[in-house]
């Protein structure tokens, strides 16, 4: 079997590549390392926590573990969107100095799974914008759009999030 298969115009499936789960926010596509994804859940209401930032929507009981749930739209300063049938909570594992913890991120929709060779990932330019470039591991050109690959550890360990989520035990 050939180790590379063409996906669309410029993405190649590579058996030795790293896999990413992509999701949508405000018509932009983002990707995270698929090894960090524990599960995908349809939107269900969470328990709100008083006096937390607006993007920390609350906590979710996941088989006995209480996990914080972050709305990435609000975290990135995008306008709030009513949750609907495509809204998904991606349950992820986050590494920090204190160990591993489980968190949920709310996204508009899950898009695709990509397996990317290292040479397909471009270094992120150091520019300002909606997302701090320290949260970006790279960019991938796909058709007429860019997929932004996120460093989920950096993002979820920044600012208030570092203290908002207890370490999973």
- List, for residues 68-77, the tens digit of each pLDDT value: 999 999 988 8
**What is the average pLDDT score of the chain?**
81
Token look-up 């992509």 returns 22
pLDDT at 14: 45
Categorize the per-residue pLDDT at 78 as very low, low, confident or very high, splitting at 50, 70 and 90.
Answer: very high
Q: Of 100, 89, 110, which is closest to residue 39 (Cα–Cα)? A: 89
Number of DSSP helices (H) and strands (E) in the chain, helices first: 3, 12
What domains are defined for the chain? Answer: 4-164 (2.40.50.180)
Q: Are the C-beta atoms of residues 120 and 137 closer than 8 Å to each other?
A: no
Whole-angstrom distance, CA of residue 135 vs CA of residue 157: 10
> What is the arithmetic mean of pLDDT over 51-64?
93
Model confidence pTM above 0.85: no
Q: Are the C-beta atoms of residues 9 and 143 closer than 8 Å to each other?
A: yes
Residue 44 buriedness (CB in 10 A; 0-12 / 13-18 / 19+): exposed
Would the CA dihedral through 157, 139, 39, 107 be positive or negative?
Answer: positive
pLDDT at 105: 96
């Amino acid at each position: 079997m050939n180790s590379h298969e063409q996906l669309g115009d410029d993405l190649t499936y590579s058996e030795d590549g790293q896999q990413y789960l992509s999701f949508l926010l405000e018509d932009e596509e983002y990707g995270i390392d698929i090894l960090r994804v524990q599960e995908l859940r349809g939107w269900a209401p969470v328990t709100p926590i008083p006096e937390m930032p607006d993007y920390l929507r609350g906590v979710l009981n996941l088989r006995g573990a209480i996990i914080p749930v972050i709305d990435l739209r609000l975290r990135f300063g995008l306008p709030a969107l009513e949750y609907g049938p495509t809204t998904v909570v991606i349950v992820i594992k986050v590494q920090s100095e204190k160990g591993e913890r489980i968190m949920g991120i709310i996204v508009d929709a899950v898009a695709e799974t990509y397996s990317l060779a290292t040479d397909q990932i471009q270094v992120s330019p150091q520019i300002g914008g909606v997302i701090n470039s320290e949260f970006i591991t790279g960019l991938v050109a796909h058709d007429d759009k860019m997929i932004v690959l996120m460093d989920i550890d950096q993002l979820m360990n920044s600012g208030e999030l570092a203290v908002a989520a207890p370490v999973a035990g």
